[in-house]
Amino acid sequence: MRDVDDEDEDEKPRDTWATVRRLWSEAAGDHWRFYIVFASIVFYAIFNTAAPAYSARVIDELWGHIQVAFANNATFNITWENCGRTIFIYFMIWTAAASFYALQSFLMSSVAERLNLRLRNRIAQKLNRLPLAFFDAHRPGEVVSRATNDLDKMSESMQRGLLQLLVSIGTVVGAVSVMFVFSVQLTLVFLFFTALSLLVTKVVSRRTHDVTGERQEWVSKITSAVEEGYSGRLVIRAFNRERQSSAEVHEASGELARVSTKADFMINAVGPAVRFIGRLAQIVIALVGCSMLVAGHMTVGVFQAFFQFIYEASEPMTQLSFTFNSLQSALASAERVFDLLDEPEMEADPLPDKAAKLPGRVEGRVSFEHVRFGYSPDKPLMRDVSFTAEPGQKIAVVGTTGAGKTTLINLLMRFYEIDGGRITLDGVDTSRMDRGELRQQFGMVLQDAWLFDGTIAENIAYGCPEATRDEIVAAARAAQVDFFVRTMPQGYDTRVANDAESISQGQRQLLTIARVLLNNPAILILDEATSSVDTRTELAIGRAMDALMRGRTSFVIAHRLSTIVDADLILVMDHGNIIEQGTHKELLAAEGAYADLYLSQFA
């Protein structure tokens, strides 16, 4: 998966205010929390501004009493009447500011996490309602990234970026306002240097944007090279390309190091540069302020308070540009999440009381009646597909790669919706049925076997979780699985995963066959179910399948035509349409496409 945090850091939303309004709508139940947060920010800004301003009175009062004590050669003691009350009030102002800051931080974290959870739940529900066409068009990492990285970035930016932005605005406005009250002259000097630092930040940030973008390109290139080298390591060794592959990675690493050095320098240089300008501002303000202090135009307390306000105003201003970038990136992440939530959904199942029901016992009569379908509306694949599978028949679907064999099965299972015609099961239109009830009637064994993280027994019982251990073992024996399962360390309790290298591809396929055997469905779908097993095991599985298919309608997608010569009906497909159908003998006698395909396997 791509590093979204780095790659998208400089992304900007397409429509900022539309995204903000939608986020506000999504957080409808937490609006009262936002109102309290806004009120807390206002009160925090007031108390945070009042504290340095009040410190001028504290310092002046202390300084005055110290001067009196020094003139009278007396000892200065702080009492409640003698500066104590003033210091206590000063302490309480800071306490109030800290309390409102804690309140707004707690509530904003609560709002962000609740919104994150709400959107995450909506995504989880959305993924269950999306058609397979969506997953065919999007990479798994892209979908996972929206549900994890994008939501986490949005939540973090709300907790930190948005809160920091609002607090910074309140702090800067309050600080600069009081600074003008204290001294217009010194405030103008401060604003001049602030404008200079913001200009430097803008120029450097623009250049940094270009360099970090270039760095991310090289990160993507080296990541792709490493992943390709690891995934294709056997091919690389087979063709003696180790040196060339290593050289490509080293070259990309060198370019990445060069660009990263430049990017890191510019990222880390902007802070010291801005702070250097800030120190110059402090020196100039100190010199001008000292002259005003000596001339009696400013007190010691106001002088030190002004420097507190310099810090209060300069730090937020320095961080504002970075905060804006972070918020823009977070809004772009939110847009991607909303794009996912706005994806068109598959047609909803009819209500339980209106859904078409199958008869009590499913016979397995399947009929395609003038079915039309295309993966895109402007490119139809199936134009007029019609055939009928009688109960208990073995239907073989053959054709060259890309002929539409798997598409036909996908339509039968309602993984895709047809554009015209209809498909019936025992005379019931499948489009009017609940998808769950429809798919319960089918058992599928795919060419690409998939195991879930769990024990072997759990994988076999995936479609029938209430099965007993004896039933699981019986299905495993029928699928020729039991013999190798017992050689595993913990037998049926051995944990496996889809990417586990301890189980071969053929063994995985045997486990998926056992899964279907245990489920005991009314209709079987076998998509090259024995393509990854040896010939001897294939014969044994064939006998088990023959026993299982007896009395059941079964659809078999086959490339080795010798395995389907006993089929009751063979459908020959080409470019999505059925061009021939009949028995093995009938199709050979016709000397058409099936005969050519069959004879070519023995040439």
With a pLDDT cut of 90, the percent of the chain lying above it is: 10
Q: What token pair was written down for 350?
A: 């009819």
pLDDT of residue 569: 92
Cα-to-chain-centroid distance, residue 64: 63
pLDDT over threshold 80, residue 546:
no
Q: What token pair was written down for 177?
A: 């306002």
pLDDT of residue 259: 85
pLDDT over threshold 50, residue 9:
no
Q: What's the Cα-to-Cα distance from 382 to each of 218, 434, 508, 555, 571, rounded to whole Å?
A: 44, 24, 33, 18, 14
pLDDT of residue 5: 40
Q: What's the Cα-to-Cα distance from 449 to each of 111, 466, 524, rounded to whole Å?
A: 43, 22, 16
pLDDT band at 544 (very low <50, low <70, confident <90, very high): low
3-class SS at 379? strand
Q: What token pair was written down for 194?
A: 């602030």
pLDDT band at 422 (very low <50, low <70, confident <90, very high): very high
Q: Where does residue 325 rank: exposed (0-12), middle (13-18), buried (19+ CB within 10 A)?
A: middle
- Average pLDDT of 342-371? 83
- Average pLDDT of 108-120? 88
pLDDT of residue 602: 64
Average pLDDT, the chain: 82
pLDDT of residue 539: 72
Cα-to-chain-centroid distance, residue 357: 38
- Average pLDDT of 220-244? 80
pLDDT band at 76 (very low <50, low <70, confident <90, very high): low
β-strand partners of 527: 557
pLDDT of residue 57: 82
Kindly give, in sequence order, each residue whose CB lies less than 8 Å from that of residue 370, ignoring residues fewer than 6 positions away.
384, 385, 386, 420, 421, 422
With a pLDDT cut of 70, the percent of the chain lying above it is: 92
* pLDDT tens digits for range 452-508: 888 889 989 988 888 999 999 998 888 888 888 888 888 899 888 766 566 777 778
pLDDT of residue 321: 62
**Which of the residue ranges 32-36, 134-138, 359-363 has the most confident prediction, judged by mean pLDDT?**
32-36
- Average pLDDT of 540-569? 79
pLDDT of residue 387: 92
- Average pLDDT of 235-248? 85
Q: What residue has token string 């300084």?
A: 63
Neighbouring C-beta atoms of residue 199, cutoff 10 Å: 11
Q: What token pair was written down for 545?
A: 């399948």
pLDDT band at 92 (very low <50, low <70, confident <90, very high): very high
pLDDT over threshold 80, residue 565:
yes
Q: What residue has token string 């709508």?
A: 25
pLDDT of residue 489: 83
- Average pLDDT of 248-273? 82
- Average pLDDT of 100-106? 89
pLDDT of residue 2: 39
β-strand partners of 580: 572
Q: What token pair was written down for 101?
A: 């800051």
Query: Torsion angle of alpha carbons 277, 281, 282, 288, nearest 10°?
Result: 160
pLDDT band at 371 (very low <50, low <70, confident <90, very high): very high
Cα-to-chain-centroid distance, residue 47: 41
pLDDT over threshold 70, residue 162:
yes
pLDDT of residue 424: 92
Helix 163-182, helix 184-231: angle, nearest 10 = 160
Give the separation between CA 429 and CA 68, rounded to whole angstroms: 101
Q: What's the Cα-to-Cα distance from 545 to each of 462, 485, 506, rounded to whole Å?
A: 19, 20, 16
CB distance 503 to 496 below 8 Å: yes
Give the separation between CA 440 and CA 553, rounded to whole angstroms: 14
Higher pLDDT, 316 or 366: 366
Query: Torsion angle of alpha carbons 22, 130, 440, 361, nearest 10°?
Result: 90
Residue 412 identity: L
- Average pLDDT of 97-101? 91
pLDDT of residue 3: 39
Give the separation between CA 456 and CA 479, rounded to whole angstroms: 13
pLDDT of residue 500: 58
Give the separation between CA 64 and CA 52, rounded to whole angstroms: 18
pLDDT over threshold 70, residue 239:
yes
Give the separation between CA 578 and CA 594, rounded to whole angstroms: 11
pLDDT of residue 531: 65
DSSP label at 376? B
- Label the pairing between strands 553-557 and 394-399: parallel
- Average pLDDT of 257-269? 81
Higher pLDDT, 95 or 601: 95
Give the separation between CA 121 and CA 427, rounded to whole angstroms: 38
- The answer to which of 17-21, 201-205, 406-410, 520-524 has the lowest mean pLDDT is 201-205
pLDDT over threshold 70, residue 228:
yes
* pLDDT tens digits for range 41-71: 889 888 888 888 888 888 878 877 777 777 7
CB distance 127 to 144 below 8 Å: no
Closest CA to 318 of 484, 428, 172: 172
pLDDT of residue 26: 86
Q: What token pair was written down for 334?
A: 């939110």
Kindly give, in sequence order, each residue whose CB lies less than 8 Å from that of residue 198, ignoring residues fewer than 6 positions away.
317, 321
pLDDT of residue 463: 83
DSSP label at 452? -
